[in-house]
A and B are shown apart, each in its own frame.
Chain A
Amino acid sequence: MTRDKVLILCDDRSKINDNLELLFKQPLSLDTNIVKGIPWENKYYTVEFDLYIDEIDTNLTDWIDEFMSDECELLREVLAGIIFVLPLGQKDDLEQIQSHLKSENDMFLICSDPTTESEYPHWEDFTTTLEITTFGNSKARNEYGELMGIPRIQEIIDTYPWTNSELKQDHLESSKPEDTVGDDNIQLHHLLSTLQEAKSKYSENKDDSMAQELCEEIAKLILDS
């Protein structure tokens, strides 16, 4: 089954909704708990996933017990990851999450604390199974140069092995170093990918108007450079 859903678990949605909108780059209505087809993009690929947002109305232990029950087996099989947005000042909550969910190897588990801008010392005890970070949108990095807060969560979502993602054509060229790729080379890469694309399209459907359009596009590219 394709894992193409992300679950957000929070204790008060209204307090974190603004940052959720920042994270997923789109408006999220407070009364909507399921958002289908969230577009996600980085320089290498695009992907769409569904977002499930749940608020804890009892306590974390009950929620985890319910989540690990047989009734939720189907949900567990389609989740790419869970983001817990809860106060993590106490070690107990993290221990519970770790002990119950450590067997879920195919999904990412992020615990994010919206009440603090800095890391608590006890967070470092959980580095092997959980990704723990803040929930702010600062550009700050920790002592290892690692991003924190929302940028780090974005990075974790980026590195998840989505099976339904679509690679961008020019992803290799976009990563080449600045000092070895000048403007001319960028044009050349664009020209090459355009030619490659046209070649594969033309072999499937020999459309002369498409060939004409391609000639015009190439002429424009050469004249512009």
Chain B
Amino acid sequence: MSQIKYLLLISRQGKIRLMKWFIPLSSKEKTKIINELTQTILARKPKMCNIVEYSDYKVVYRRYASLYFIVGITPDVDNELLTLELIHRYVETLDSYFGNVCELDIIFNFTKAYDILNEMTMCDGSLAESSKRNILQTIATMDSMDDHDKLDRVLS
């Protein structure tokens, strides 16, 4: 089982590129988490552990190129190593969709990055789909429907 609290995507320059909250939090609490985790995780050195104690739970993070994927996990429910796998699967899926994904792809296609994450996870933070192939197929169907919609709009 997995029940993540949130997933944040932060650039090396401390800019938030994507955030998804799976628990109800006020905007003040969200800002606090973002600010504190940005400072803490960006300052960590390469050889340090990818699991950090934060507040009364743990945070698992992994850096890919210039992006930090940060996930808050529920104690006694989530497994830290499984969370690292979940991050990796998300990155692999992004990579397959965009073809060697980079920060710029996520900035300009953030809705697609959210769509992929929404396919992978349920609204309570549990894992809904682990198959990269299935996720990409669903996204391809969404793209196709979007194209048809665009065609209808242009021809109307």
A and B bind: yes
Interface residues on A, range: 20 to 34
Chain A residue with the shortest CB-CB distance to B66: A146
In the bound complex, CA of A66 to CA of B12 (Å): 28
Minimum C-beta distance from B105 to chain A (A): 6
Q: In whole angstroms, how far apart are the Cα atoms of A85 and B12 in the complex?
A: 20
Structural contact, A158 and B151, CB atoms closer than 8 A: no
Residue A131 lies at the interface, judged by CB distance under 8 Å to chain B: yes
**Minimum C-beta distance from A6 to chain B (A):** 15
Task: From B46, B96, B136, B140, give the contact of A124 (CB < 8 A).
Answer: B46
Q: Give the distance to chain B from A189, nearest Cβ to Cβ, in Å.
A: 8
Chain A residues within 8 Å of B39, by CB: 128
Number of A-B residue pairs having CB atoms within 8 Å of each other in the complex: 79
28 CB contacts below 8 A, A to B, read A42-B104, A43-B104, A44-B107, A108-B13, A127-B42, A128-B14, A131-B13, A144-B46, A144-B63, A147-B65, A152-B66, A155-B103, A155-B104, A156-B13, A159-B13, A159-B15, A159-B107, A171-B108, A172-B108, A175-B98, A175-B108, A177-B96, A177-B97, A177-B136, A192-B150, A192-B154, A196-B154, A199-B154
Contacts A155-B102, A159-B13, A192-B147 known; 18 new A-B pairs at CB < 8 A: A42-B104, A44-B104, A44-B107, A108-B13, A131-B12, A146-B66, A152-B66, A155-B66, A156-B13, A159-B104, A171-B108, A172-B109, A175-B98, A175-B108, A177-B98, A180-B140, A185-B147, A195-B154
